[in-house]
Structure 1
Amino acid sequence: MPTSAPTNMAANLSADRLLKVARYIEAHAQDKLTLQQLAQMVELSPSYLQRQFKQAFGVSAKAYQDAIRLGIYKQTLQASNATSEAIYAAGFGSTSRVYGVPGRNLGMSPKAYQKAGQGQVIAYAVCNTKLGKLAMAATDKGVCFAQFGDSDAALIEAIHREFKAATIVPSDNQNSPLLAAWINALNQHISHGDDKPNLPLDMRGTVFQIQVWEFLLQLPPNATATYSQVANGINKPKAVRAVASACAKNTIGVLIPCHKVLRSDGSLGGYRWGTDRKQALLRNDASLQQTASPAS
Structure 2
Amino acid sequence: MSLGDEREPSGGYGGTGQTRTRLPESGGDVYGGARRGGRSSSRSLVTVVGVVVLLIAAIAFANRGGEDSGSGGGDENQPNSSSTAASGSQPVQGKNGGIPAGFAQDQQGAQSAAANYSVALGSADMFDTATRHEIVNTVYAPDVAANRQADLDNAYSSEEFLKNIGLNTDGTAPEGQSFVSRVIPVGTKTTAFSTGAATVEVWYTSLFGLSGDGSTNPVSESWYTTTYQLTWVNKDWKVTDFQQKDGPVPVGRDQRASTADDMTKAVEEFGGFTYAR
Return the TM-score normalized by structure 1: 0.26
Rg larger in 1 or in 2?
Answer: 1
Instruction: Tell me: higher relative CO, structure 1 or 2? Use CA pairs within 8 A at least 6 residues apart.
Output: 2
Give 1 or 2: higher helix fraction: 1
